[in-house]
């Protein structure tokens, strides 16, 4: 049973169907993520514009970039929206990555009040290592194949 299913999925006849299925799944995953991300940003924006509907609710701003550090507040950017947050103590510098849980202010002019926050000092290294992994995977893939008579042929 499993062997016949494997033959069906990996046969030349079903290759276009499997490719379309995989591409469709990737598109669906991107759409689902963007829907979640956009809805969270819209919820926070709606609460800041009409704070009486979300009075003292907590919001999670994950992986925000510090844009400006003031004497009592910091400004962080999440997607394309800047948020002013008070109550973040300790050494915080511009361009650092923070995740913040904050309460929504009572008026649009007030800053968010930080309940807790976490600094991500190794985030830049994670980005660099993932890019290195992509480059290495691409290099290994290119080294594993060659073009012969206008066809891709596996080496070895």
pLDDT, one tens digit per residue, over 127-149 is 999 999 999 999 999 999 888 88
Residues 6 and 81 in one domain: yes
User: What are the pLDDT digits (tens) for 71-125?
Assistant: 889 999 987 888 999 998 888 989 999 999 999 888 778 899 999 999 999 998 9
Query: Which range marks the domain in which residue 148 is found?
Result: 122-156
pLDDT at 49 over 90: no
User: What are the pLDDT digits (tens) for 1-30?
Assistant: 777 777 777 777 788 888 899 999 999 999
Q: How confident is the model at residue 62 (pLDDT cuts 50, 70, 90)?
A: confident
State how far Cα 145 lies from the chain centre: 32
Helix (H) or strand (E) holding 65: strand 58-69
Number of separate domains in the chain: 2
Residues 140 and 104 in one domain: no
């Amino acid at each position: 049973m499993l062997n016949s299913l494997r033959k069906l999925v990996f046969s030349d006849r079903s290759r276009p169907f499997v490719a379309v299925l995989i591409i469709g799944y990737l598109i669906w995953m991107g759409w689902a993520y963007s829907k979640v991300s956009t809805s969270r940003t819209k919820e926070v924006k709606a609460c800041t514009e009409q704070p009486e509907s979300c009075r003292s609710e907590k919001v999670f701003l994950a992986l925000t970039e510090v844009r400006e550090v003031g004497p009592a507040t910091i400004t962080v950017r999440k997607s394309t929206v800047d948020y002013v947050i008070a109550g973040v103590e300790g050494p915080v510098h511009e361009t650092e990555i923070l995740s913040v849980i904050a309460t929504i202010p009572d008026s649009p002019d007030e800053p968010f009040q930080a309940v807790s926050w976490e600094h991500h000092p190794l985030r830049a290294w994670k980005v660099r290592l993932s890019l290195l992994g992509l480059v290495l995977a691409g290099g290994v893939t290119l080294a594993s194949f060659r073009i012969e008579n206008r066809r891709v042929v596996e080496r070895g």
